[in-house]
Amino acid sequence: MKRFFSFLITLFFVLFLSFCGKKGPIWAPHIRTPQGIKTFRAIQKGDTLILEWTNPTTYGDGKALPEIEEIEVWLYEREIESPKDGESTGEGESPRGEESPRRGEPVGIEEFVKNAKIISLIKREVFSWYRIRESNEPESPQFCYFYKLSGKDLASKTLIFSLRIKYRKRKEAAFSDLKSIEPKIIPLPPRKVKANMLEDRIEIRWDPPRWNINQTWPPIVLGYNIYRMEEGGEEELPQRINSRCRNQAKFEDKNFLFGKVYQYFVRAAAASEPPYFESDDSELIEITARDVFPPAVPAGLMSVAGENFIAISWNENREEDLAGYRVWRKAEDGDEYILLIQDPIRENTYTDTTVEKNKRYYYAITAQDINGNESQRSDPISEIIEDEIP
């Protein structure tokens, strides 16, 4: 029996030692890479470049990111060489014999990192300063940065921007996509914008700009875009209301409602197709769409005399906001027309039973809309009830 227990103890130790320290399969460590900025765009408006983007909120695997500490704005000013007068150069070569980037030539990330510099550090404490007002547009940018152009930026130069995020514990994301833009010479804003309320439209007019942003003349204007906001309505953000770039200094807005307050501004465009390379905003004008326009004067009056009444009729008006008609009468010995009914009637007929025989009466009709605007009186029509001759 002792030998049997000794055998078991020996077997146990052999098995234990055979498994001790045995390595399993090697698994690659899971490294979460912080997300960089994906939604990023750059546009020129007047003498300002506007960078717009959306900050990421998750890692690549969907896990929540730590708080963003700061956003770096990087800029690479890439000179586009031009040959001097009287000098001939080969394609892509500068007058000095150095290789020169051609206009529109793409920039790689290595060239960008080598030449770019940080122009702004946006700390988390001031993110609210760079927020864009909320928009109904899906995936719309949430932040913006304004870069003011100088005169030298309007020369042969390409500006390449990128953004980089730094998270807590100094974790850095990769650079965002590179956005290249060649600043254009853009006109100054339109001047003397005016709005005029008409019966079926709001007419906006303006004067063309006098100069370009670099004070050159004539202004480079290939069209205009008109923007509108509705006070207290759905259009709290400016909406472009012209479908195509306008080539005239006027616009008719027919998509409005009476009683609403509208605000308008206009931008001059240096291109007739998107991107328009727009000017800054013109002055903002405001107009209340008040309905002060009466219906048309009723027409086609006819009369019929009965035994003890006079019936009149007229053509129907076509206004959508018509409230009804008012009937006016004057006796042949009277001086002025009097109103027979106080409240407008919807029917285009009326029977007057308060008449005397052998007395001529004159009738006129006015039309009234729901806002109380009343037309002028129609041309009168007269009628008389005569006694029958026995």
Q: Give the span between the Cα atoms of 270 and 219, in whole angstroms.
A: 9
In the structure encoding, which two tokens stand for residue 1, read together? 């029996």
Which pLDDT band, with edges at 50, 70 and 90, does 98 fall under? Answer: very low
Task: Give the per-residue SS3 of 364-379.
Answer: EEEEEECCCCECCCCC
Pick the range with the lowest mean pLDDT from 100-104, 253-257, 369-373.
100-104
The pLDDT confidence band at residue 168, using thresholds 50, 70 and 90, is confident
**pLDDT band for position 80 (cuts 50, 70, 90):** confident
Mean pLDDT confidence for 270-284:
95
Burial class, 11, CB count within 10 angstroms (exposed 0-12 / middle 13-18 / buried 19+): exposed
Is there a single domain that holds both residue 78 and residue 171?
Answer: yes
Q: Which residues make Cβ contacts (< 8 Å) with residue 234, sequence separation at least 6? A: none
Q: Are residues 171 and 47 in the same domain?
A: yes
Of the residues 154, 181, 208, which one is the last residue of a structural domain?
Answer: 181
12 located within any domain: no
Give the model's pLDDT for residue 45: 95
Assess whether 150 and 204 both reside in one domain.
no
Whole-number pLDDT of residue 6: 58
Q: Is the pLDDT of residue 89 over 60?
A: no
Mean pLDDT in residue range 181-192: 95
pLDDT of residue 33: 62
Q: Would you say residue 337 lies in a domain?
A: yes
Provide the percentage of residues in the chain whose pLDDT is more than 90. Answer: 66
Are residue 313 and residue 331 in the same domain, yes or no? yes
Structural domain that includes position 244 = 191-288
Query: Omega of the bond prior to 275 within 30 degrees of 0, cis?
Result: yes
Q: What integer is the mean pLDDT of 181-210?
A: 96
Indicate whether 44 and 165 sit together in one domain: yes
Q: Minimum mean pLDDT among 87-96, 167-176, 275-284: which range? A: 87-96
User: Residue 79 in 3-state DSSP?
Assistant: strand
Cα 140 to Cα 132: distance, rounded to the nearest angstrom: 9
Distance CA 122, CA 114 (A): 22
Same domain, 312 and 351: yes
Better-scored residue on pLDDT, 64 or 74: 74
Residue 338 CB-density burial (10 A; 0-12 exposed, 13-18 middle, 19+ buried): exposed
Report yes or no on 54 lying in a domain: yes
The domain boundary residue, chosen from 181, 210, 244: 181
3-state secondary structure of 330: strand
Band (pLDDT 50/70/90 cuts) for residue 90 is very low
149 found inside a domain: yes
- Distance separating alpha carbons of residues 372 and 294, to the nearest angstrom: 8
Instruction: Give the whole-angstrom CA distance, residue 301 versus residue 293.
Output: 23
Average of pLDDT values for 98-112?
74
Residue 79 in this model has a pLDDT that exceeds 70: yes
59 Cβ neighbours under 8 A, 6+ residues apart: 32, 33, 34, 35, 65
- Do 152 and 218 lie in one domain? The reply is no
**Band of pLDDT at residue 23, cut at 50, 70 and 90:** low
**How many structural domains does the chain have?**
3
Kindly report the pTM of this predicted structure. Answer: 0.75
Q: Is residue 260 part of a domain?
A: yes
Statement to judge: residues 229 and 354 lie in one domain: no
Asked if residue 95 has pLDDT above 80, the reply is no
Looking up residue 329, the CATH number of its domain turns out to be 2.60.40.10
Query: What's the CA gap between 203 and 253, in Å, rounded?
Result: 6
Residues of the chain with pLDDT > 70: what percent? 79
Q: Is residue 137 part of a domain?
A: yes
263 in the same domain as 321: no
**Cβ neighbour number for residue 381 with a 10 Å cutoff:** 17
pLDDT higher at 123 or 106: 123
Based on the fold, state whether residues 149 and 66 are members of the same structural domain: yes
Mean pLDDT of 246-267: 96
CB 79 within 8 A of CB 39: no
Do residues 221 and 122 both lie within one domain? no
Q: Which of 140, 157, 181 is the last residue of a domain?
A: 181
Reply yes or no on whether the pLDDT at 152 is more than 90: no
> Rounded mean pLDDT of the chain?
85
Cα atoms found within 13 Å of the Cα of residue 194, Cβ hemisphere only: 7
99 in any annotated domain: no
Query: What separation in angstroms does the CA of 271 have from each of 63, 90, 99, 148, 243?
Result: 44, 31, 31, 21, 15
Distance CA 222, CA 238 (A): 21
- Asked if residue 60 has pLDDT above 70, the reply is no
Same domain, 131 and 51: yes
Q: How far is the C-alpha of 315 from the C-alpha of 373, rounded, in Å?
A: 19
List, as one string, the DSSP characters of 170-201.
G-BPPP---EEE-----BPPPEEEEEEE-SS-
Residues 98-111: what's their mean pLDDT? 72
**Residue 89 maps to a domain:** no
Residue 87 has pLDDT above 50, yes or no: no
More confident residue, 27 or 226: 226
